[in-house]
Structure 1
Amino acid sequence: MKFKVNHLAILTAATLVTTPVLANDWQGEANDAWLDGKLETSLLLNTELNNFKIDTDIESGVAVLSGEVNNQTQKELAGEIAQNIEGISEVKNNLTVDENYRNEDNDDDNSFSRTWHDMTVTAGLKMELAAHDELEATAIDVSTDNGVVTLKGNVKNEAEKDLAVEMAKGYDKVVEVNDELVVTN
């Protein structure tokens, strides 16, 4: 029995097989666009940077970072992220540091990332307190603002108070804990 060869099926199969190979061998502007997308995504996923204030451009594998960051550490972090992208051969880090940036009372701290972390800390800490047998978690109110956790409410003794405060201090992204718990007997 003879099989009829479908030229369209062969062409489709050949295209599907070679597409991944071609994706790794992009050249020129297409490769630069691919690298720029990888860099933008990497900056977006890093919670320590505000990628909306960082502009990227790739030309012939050379990444150029421009825009503004809050401190020298963020500038260096953005440069390291760019340097670690496979295919980027050089990084020109033209980011400037905002000399007027202050960590407290800054509108940038109310960014999506900070708000997300605050909500995550509040919800996670409430769950941890509720799961702990030694605490009456329903009597403890937890709120988080700019990484500062405030604990309010009543606890039975100093040991419960200390435990709740230590749990909050140990939580990721918490910069300070305001202890407003009251011991009631």
Structure 2
Amino acid sequence: MSKVFRSLLLITALSSVSQWAQAGNYWKATAKDGWLDGYVEATLLLNGNLDATSIDTDVDNGVVTLRGKVETDTDKALVQELVLGVDGVNGIENMLTVFSPGENEDSAIQRKLTDKKVATVVKTRLLVAPDIGSTKIDVNSSQGVVVLEGQVKNDAEKQRAVEIAKKITDVEQVVNKLTVSD
């Protein structure tokens, strides 16, 4: 009888420890999602080309769900590009609503907005890239052509800056005018 009682006690203790471990993993994942949610919201709010006050973000296992309203299709694309550039984001569910659709905008205005979006995304990605230490990179965009000017520390940074710019949506060409500082 005491052998059965000890076995039951051991099973109960092991299952309790297992539940505590699972609870710890749950809190760790929840804390990571909470941190990521705050980082994504800060990234959106600190962007000067976007009114992010009506955008709500939720994060579940690294997947960011975006809800709310933006003014243009370009703003919607900008939000998505900025969120995708955040380390730790595993995916996006973009449920943003455009309340002033881009089809009513003049194509020249739309192009300027797209150029501003591209320049902003490139600048943001360069600033957060861990392998680029230079903050002396100017980014200009016109009709899909991105021009990188300024100084970097070495040839590797120069090459990496071009690679980052080429990966941005709506970038058709990158002109590299970066110089290596002495």
- Structures share fold, TM-score greater than 0.5: no
Q: Specify which structure has the bigger relative contact order, considering alpha-carbon pairs within 8 angstroms and separated by 6 or more residues.
A: 2
Normalised-by-shorter TM-score class: 0.3 to 0.5
Structure (1 or 2) with the larger CA radius of gyration: 1
TM-score normalised to the size of structure 2? Answer: 0.41
Instruction: State TM-score, norm by structure 1.
Output: 0.41
